[in-house]
Amino acid sequence: MSAILLDAGLVHYEVIGRGKPVLLLHGWLGSWRYWMPTMEALADGYRSYALDFWGFGDSDKPGNRYSLDDYVQQVEDFLDGLGIAQVSLVGHSLGGVVALCTALRRPQRVEKLALVDTPIWGNGLSTSLKLARSPLSRLVAGPRAQIALWMRSLKRVSAAWSEMYDEIMEDTEKLDYAAVQQSLECILNLDLRPKLGQLYTHTLVVYGERDEFVDPEQAGFFADGTVATAQVVLLEGCRHFPFLDEPSKFNRLLKEFLASQLGQVLTVKEEWRRRYKQVEYL
């Protein structure tokens, strides 16, 4: 277990491997632990870092630092604290939003960007998440019901990942419910569509074809040519956690992207075709 003290508090993170730096950012209700299989897969060529956002996992719970801007600042301060000038960012869900906003705000710091099941427009979130913002829902159900919904989704992932289910549950019990509600509100109010034309970072966009939380049709915001540097892939049969549903296949795709050059078309290997559906490469 590693930690770094920033001006805003203590950030817990884990680090594996040697090579060029990659920072993995977890999703809503998540923690660094979701990324363990991916970090292990990258260890032979990359130095992978995975942190806990404010209010999640073992990082501090400052109470008033749960906005997207706060999380983007956390990422920047984390990189500064470790002396990392440039990094590849991999973000899932909420973490993808933070990664995208970081690339838009500090493009010189982000070498490559991988967005996994990332909401671009809050209107594309599931009805259950939209209802969670209502006063009645908060009164009757509250964050615990939202967490239960999330954990039911996790139960559908690979059997290998289920072995860590108890540890995942321990991480969710450490959540600050203020972070749960405030970060969800930020995502529901999100609309990054007008800013996508300002993204020039080499980008991989991945959605699970059966994502039950984020509409995979949001991939179209990248596949329509607005982001000339983006490559879009739908993962057939995967839900909101493709890196857990099909870890070996997802990790091979990610490694190929991290090793690729801008403009290079990723090759979907023949043995991947049962699970991978190539939508469009730009």
C-alpha 32/C-alpha 54 separation (Å) is 12
Answer yes or no: are the C-beta atoms of 237 and 216 closer than 8 Å: no
C-alpha 274/C-alpha 266 separation (Å) is 17
From residue 180, give the alpha-carbon distance in Å to each of 49, 133, 279. 23, 11, 33
Would you say the C-alpha torsion 45, 47, 53, 58 has a positive or negative sign? positive
Residue 93 annotated among the catalytic residues of the structure = yes
Gyration radius from the chain CA atoms: 17
Query: Which residue shows structure tokens 């960007």?
Result: 113
Closest of 46, 25, 35 to residue 258, by C-alpha: 46
Name every residue whose Cβ is closer than 8 Å to that of residue 164 and which is 6 or more positions away in sequence: 33, 36
- The one catalytic residue among 31, 48, 93, 183: 93
Q: Which two tokens stand for residue 227?
A: 């982001």
Closest of 53, 3, 5, 6 to residue 26, by C-alpha: 53
Closest of 267, 261, 260 to residue 281, by C-alpha: 267
C-alpha 94/C-alpha 98 separation (Å) is 6
In DSSP terms, 91 is beta-bridged to 25, 115
Q: Catalytic amino acids? A: 93
